[in-house]
Each structure stands twice: as structure tokens, then as C-alpha cells.
Amino acid sequence: MADVDLESEQYEKNREAGEILAEVRDEAAEMVEVGVAHLEVAEWAEERIRELGGEPAFPVNISVDHEAAHATPAPDDEETFGEEMINLDIGVHVDGWLADTAVTVDLSGNNELAAASAEALDAAIETVEAGVDTSEIGAAVEEVIEGYGYKPVVNLTGHGLGHWEQHTEPNIPNRAISQGTTLEAGQVVAIEPFATTGTGKVHEGSDEQIFALERQRSVRNRQARQALDQITEEFKTLPFAARWLDVPRVEMTLRRLKQQDVVHGYPVLQEQEGELVSQKEHTVIVTEDGCEVTTRSR
Ligand code: CO
């Protein structure tokens, strides 16, 4: 990718998405306190993103304690925060150009675990420049987290961000691997170390509130058709929450769309019950001699 123009419109939109996102992440993190409802924080953040001129790139993820990813409030959710470890993972797009960020708010008294993923992210970002092997980034993450006496979650990775695509190549591992890939100037990538007291491998739980379009096909049921119209118009292939659909009987409609392979779900990914997971994530644009962090606090 020689001579990428980092001043082009696409990168300006990546930056705009990052700027909106940094503000919303920091404000949302401030709202997380014992007794506050998950749904209140998620809906506030998603609305604030729109007010600032972006669109949510995926539903606000609120992962608690052993949960690592893909948890978002259900339409009628009444859960509130307790003395827990909370990970907020939020995405914004501007015309399909994305930014992705996450932060841990620790209400559980395990600051060290939150510090481990935060410091791992700083170390990872230090290594990024055109020509770096992704294995080197993973090694930096692993070294910091193990230095704290925890494990990185190895089956979750950072990722490239494409146009209307939230997960593209390259994967950014959270440990040293034997076969990495080389980063190039102009790539937009999300780096997201997870640190855990558990095994370092997450598995699928039973809860599922996030979905995405799998393939277009005609559906006969009226609600299903209505939902599919909304999905293709508003979300395209980006993930959406059950609570975002303006159709009656949302759960039944989603079940129907899943059965017909029109949408797929993202089950919550979690460690063993009783363990904790922290996460920190930034989006960066790779440059010749480093990177530009689009989601840094202003
Ligand atoms: Co991400």
C-alpha cells in the first residue's frame, strides 16, 4: 500500500468517528455506578453518538465480571450495576468508516486487573508502525499481562476495520504467535487486550442479544420482512441489538430470521463463572513511523 493519502475523506471520517467515540466512551464510563441500569447507559451512549453526528457501529457492549464480549441489554433489561468489573465496548461509524474502543470500569476492587489490560494496550501501541509483525504486538500484550500475574484472553483478538465491516483482516493477537502478518501504512486496526484471572480462553454462553445480517433472501412472515427491511437499510452488515428492531414480537422474529439463515447471532463470550475479565481497546491508523490513535481522550 504505497503512498496512502492519510488526508483523504475516508480517513477524515475514521477520525471523526474516533473523536465522537472518545467523548462518548469517557462520558459513559462516568455514568457506571452501583445501582445504575445497564439499559440506561447503553441507550444514553447510543443516543449521544447520534447527537454528535455518528451512528453506533454496533450495540454498546456491557460485559460484567466473567463476561468478555457480545453482551448488551435485552429490550426489557432491568439489570443494574453492582460491585463488579464492567467492560464498556463501543463503536461508531461515519458513513461506514469505523472506530472501536473499550474501557474497564472497576467497581469490584480489582484495579490491578484493569491496569494490566490498559498497560498492555499502551505497550502494544508502542510497537505499531508500518512493517511491524502482528506477532510482535501480541508478544507485547502477553508480556505485560503475564507480568501482572494474569492471563491474556488468547481466543479474542484485535482486528482490522473495513468500510461497513467491523471485523476484517488482520487479526491482532493477544499473545506471541509463530505466524503473524505485516502491518501496512494506512491500515485501520483495533487493538484490544483482555486480561483475566481465568484460563485465558472464553467460550460461548447462552445469552444472545446481538445479531447481524448473514444473507439476503425473501422472507414471507410480515414481521420478519419488516425487520429485514430495517436491517438492510440501517445496519447493513454491521451488528445490531434485538432492542434496536422496531417490530412487534422481536424475539420470535429474530428466531425466525435465524432459522432461515438470514441473520446470525453473537452469543456472549465468557470466562468461567467466578473469574474476572478486563479489557482496553483503541483504534489506530498505521503510519510509516508509528500510528495515530483515533479514539484517544481529548
Ligand atoms: Co473491537
Neighbours of ion ligand 1 (CB under 5 A): 100, 190
CATH number of 210-268: 1.10.10.10
What's residue 2's pLDDT? 55
Taking the centre of ligand 1 as the mean of its atom positions, its distance from the CA of residue 190, in whole angstroms, is 6
Q: Which of the residues 16, 19, 67, 89 is marked catalytic?
A: 89
Per-residue pLDDT of 118-127, as tens digits, reads 999 999 999 9
Residue 56: asked if its preceding bond is cis (omega within 30°), the reply is no
Is 159 labeled as catalytic in the residue annotation? yes
Q: Which of the residues 16, 19, 142, 192 is marked catalytic?
A: 192
| Residue whose C-alpha cell is 445504575 | 36
Sketch the domain layout of the chain as residue ranges: 9-202+273-293, 210-268
What's residue 298's pLDDT? 87
Per-residue pLDDT of 28-53, as tens digits, reads 999 999 999 999 999 999 999 999 99
First to last CA, the chain: 30
**CB 287 within 8 Å of CB 128:** no
User: What CA–CA distance (Å, rounded) separates 62 from 68?
Assistant: 9
The 3-state DSSP class for residue 222 equals: helix
Is 167 labeled as catalytic in the residue annotation? yes
What average pLDDT values come out for the chain (298 residues) when binned by 10 residues? Answer: 83 98 98 98 98 98 98 96 98 98 98 98 98 98 98 98 96 96 98 98 96 94 96 95 95 95 97 98 98 96
Q: Which of the residues 38, 66, 70, 159 is marked catalytic?
A: 159
**CB 117 within 8 Å of CB 174:** no
Q: How many residues does the chain have?
A: 298
φ, ψ at 207 (rounded to 5°)? -75, 140
Domain 9-202+273-293 is found in CATH 3.90.230.10: yes
Is 281 labeled as catalytic in the residue annotation? yes
Taking the centre of ligand 1 as the mean of its atom positions, its distance from the CA of residue 248, in whole angstroms, is 31
Is 100 labeled as catalytic in the residue annotation? yes
φ, ψ at 157 (rounded to 5°)? -135, 160
Is 207 labeled as catalytic in the residue annotation? no
Taking the centre of ligand 1 as the mean of its atom positions, its distance from the CA of residue 89, in whole angstroms, is 8
| Residue whose C-alpha cell is 447503553 | 42
Taking the centre of ligand 1 as the mean of its atom positions, its distance from the CA of residue 108, in whole angstroms, is 24
| Residue whose C-alpha cell is 412472515 | 221
Taking the centre of ligand 1 as the mean of its atom positions, its distance from the CA of residue 181, in whole angstroms, is 18
9-202+273-293 and 210-268 have identical folds: no
Is 122 labeled as catalytic in the residue annotation? no
